[in-house]
Amino acid sequence: MASNSRDYSFLDHDLFLDERGRIYFVLGHFQPPAKIISLLKYVPDSRGTWVHRETGKRYLRSYWHQGMDAVKGSDELGIKQDDSRFKSWMVHDEVFDASFLEVPRQVITKHLIPEKRMMELLEKDPSYQDPVERKVVSIVNTLVKTVNGFQGSLENIGITGSILWRGHSSRSDINLNVYGRDCCNQVFRELLHAGNQELSGTISVKQKSFNDFGKITVPAGGDIRLNRKPKLFMKDFAPGIQLRWCLRENEFPLTYGEEFFREIGFGSYKVRIIDDTYSIFYPALLLVESVDEWCNVCRILVYDTRYIRLFRKGDVVTISGLLQRIDKGDACQLLIGSRAFSSREGVMFHEISTCGD
């Protein structure tokens, strides 16, 4: 591997390969120091329909959806591998009732970095760009020109997915990473303010609605502003365009493995959101103060993607999840996304903040 520091800093939505050429997807920014929590996404296989554009090698893909479906698909493909070491990397988490891959860093043979690939595309002679690459460049140039959060800079944008490892085709989604806590929050809010409108003659921003999510309760006549996921669309381009929000190294206020938790049980707690700085990332972190004095909930850690991006500073909500006592002191955190309680989790909004929208 190369020697610069970003090669050793594995960020959310990076890709990497092991010695068998299997391609993994880094899952989240909350990572242990010597391993990478990840999903196995592609494996070399002559039956595969994903083809590397330079080597011609074929790959099978493990999953097609986000959330626990992705974990399940990754596991199913992984256990078919005739590799005892691979199986030893699968760690079962009792809270999530699922196995996650924790790949040792020393077995990683190649680290694919989204920002580097993005700069390569931007610097590539247009006559050598394929149609998908040209669309990526067009979208990114439009964002930089029209969204003030980028301030004319390209250093905070990367390209991941099949385009990153050069296995893309005309059916491939375009998955853009935006980097840095402050940049992500500013760009996210500016795209929300942009609403359903065109950024250029061919590229538009639209808001994805959460109205079909039945476990959110709002006050009668209240406007919860459920359109909290800005998405990009390009004329005459059917595949999706995803914007993914990525923290850089050491930007998340918690350090993996430094705290331990004791489960208290499932419950519903009324809290006020006092800090939503990390509400758009995965996992999301919300600092809160308890409205019910009898329970000292200080934060909410969110692993369920349905609840990410939903909350704002000033919102008062009753939220149901798994209560855990933090080993340092008497404070508690509420965990959203545990497998055992997912069917019972939900949110009731009492007061809706207009801040930040």
Stretch 85-109: mean pLDDT: 84
Return the CA Rg of the chain.
21
For residue 283, whether the previous peptide bond is cis, meaning omega lies within 30 degrees of 0, is: yes
Which of 60-69, 251-260, 282-291 has the lowest average pLDDT? 60-69
pLDDT at 1: 36
Stretch 71-88: mean pLDDT: 68
Contact 288, 276 (CB under 8 A): no
Alpha-carbon span 286 to 263, nearest angstrom: 19
pLDDT at 281: 94
pLDDT bin (cut points 50, 70, 90) of residue 196 is confident
What is the three-class DSSP state of 97? coil
Stretch 55-65: mean pLDDT: 81
Domains of the chain by start residue, with CATH: 5-112 (no CATH), 114-246 (3.30.460), 261-351 (2.40.50.140)
Q: Which residue has the higher pLDDT, 62 or 166?
A: 166
How many CA atoms lie within 13 Å of 22's alpha carbon, on the beta-carbon side?
22
% of the chain exceeding 90 in pLDDT? 49
Alpha-carbon span 112 to 117, nearest angstrom: 8
* Residue 75 CB contacts under 8 Å (≥ 6 apart), including other chains: 90, 98, 99
- Other beta carbons within 10 angstroms of residue 194's beta carbon come to 17
pLDDT bin (cut points 50, 70, 90) of residue 44 is very high
Contact 39, 64 (CB under 8 A): no
Task: Write down the H helix ranges in the chain.
Answer: 5-8, 68-78, 84-88, 114-123, 131-146, 162-165, 181-194
Side chain identity, residue 198: E
- How many Å is the maximal CA-CA distance in the chain? 66
pLDDT at 62: 78
Which of 67-76, 211-220, 251-260 has the lowest average pLDDT? 67-76
Stretch 189-218: mean pLDDT: 78
pTM of the model: 0.88
Stretch 45-63: mean pLDDT: 90
Average pLDDT of the chain, as a whole number: 85
pLDDT at 4: 46
Stretch 11-17: mean pLDDT: 95
